[in-house]
Structure 1
Amino acid sequence: MFKILLVCTGNTCRSPMAAALLAHRAAQANMADSVSVESAGLAACRQPASAPARAVMRQAGLNLDNHISQQLEPAQAEAADLVLTMTAAHKRAVLGMAPGAAAKVYTLAEFAGQTGDVPDPFGGSEAEYQNCASQLDKLLTGCWEKIVTLAGKK
């Protein structure tokens, strides 16, 4: 099983939306049995996904209704085969807590061959969440072939 961990701040918006989108992509490619997708936050405190994140994912045919945010633990980053963060600051924080994971930690944009961060829509309008989900989907599209290749080697 190829384990992918997506990381943001509170694990209520970006990383759960990215995880839902990526898990859906894996299921569509008949890879749900070979790719595991989880999300966590650097400052998570057992909260549900934000209402706009749930609404935007519902519009995409996905469900975050049962998501409860979880705090990133160093062992979780170490156990993952690939850690994708939403920002460069998140990447630095993950590397600070799990330096042994350095070879497998990237920002989502970096892994997709792009630059920049995924802005946090927390507290924003549903339209801002939709823009965030669209950006996540585009970046995940840019990552997909690499993920398929890595998962095939596992």
Structure 2
Amino acid sequence: MAEHIIARELQQRGLHGEINVRSAGIAPYARDGALVSLDTRMVLRDIGIYLNDDATSTDLKRHPELLYEADLVIAMTEQQARDLLERFAVPKHLEVHTLRSFAGEAGDIDDPFEKGDLVFTQCREEITRLIPRIVDRLLGLD
């Protein structure tokens, strides 16, 4: 969800293609090629972001090379950030933050997976609120 919201923010600022954004799961249930959930599609559609019917996810456990291509990793929770650092050979140059910490706040954004419409909507609203600050920081505007 965050990948698509930040991509829209970049596009709205005329920066489409200037910053590459990728999403990859590390949860035990993350699978390469899994279709993006209907809940995710619906809450994104509600704010004008439409995903292709065949949009799929990426499993970082199967593609650790993505870490070597990245300059920054933003996790949703502190636990995800810790898991990433413990389970993967993270390059020394790579910064790992949570979405909230990179936006200047404390706390986690919990995974809404299998928690219903309201939780998905709250998650989307929180991500949408924080993304402009994240883009400002990436651009050195903070």
TM-score w.r.t. structure 2 length? 0.86
Q: Please tell me the residue identity of whatever aligns with 1:53.
A: T
TM-score w.r.t. structure 1 length? 0.80
Q: Does 1:29 align with 2:13?
A: yes
Contact map agreement 1:40 1:70 (CA 8 A) in 2: yes
Q: Which residue of 1 aligns with 2:66?
A: 76
Structural mapping, 1:3-82, within 5 Å:
17-43=1-27, 44-45=30-31, 46-65=33-52, 66-72=54-60, 73-82=63-72
- Residue 118 of structure 1: CA displacement? 0.6
Q: Please tell me the residue identity of whatever aligns with 1:149.
A: G
Q: Please tell me the residue identity of whatever aligns with 2:116.
A: S
Contact map agreement 2:71 2:94 (CA 8 A) in 1: no
**Judging changes above 3 Å, is the alpha-carbon distance between structure 1 residues 47 and 89 closer, same or farther for their aligned structure 2 residues?**
same
Q: Please tell me the residue identity of whatever aligns with 2:7.
A: A
Structure 2: where are the runs of 5+ without partners?
none
Structure 1: where are the runs of 5+ without partners?
1-16
Residues 81-121 of structure 1: CA deviation (Å, up to 9, x unaligned):
11100011111122220332564111111101111111111
SS at match of 2:22: strand
Q: Which residue of 2 aligns with 1:145?
A: 136
Q: Please tell me the residue identity of whatever aligns with 1:67.
A: A
Contact map agreement 1:40 1:71 (CA 8 A) in 2: yes
Q: Does 1:95 align with 2:85?
A: yes
Relative contact order higher in (CA < 8 Å, ≥ 6 apart): 1
- Residue 148 of structure 1: CA displacement? 1.7
Structure with the higher fraction of residues in strand conformation = 1
- Superposed CA RMSD in Å reads 1.7
Distance 1:134 1:23 in 2: 15
Residues matched between the structures, number: 134
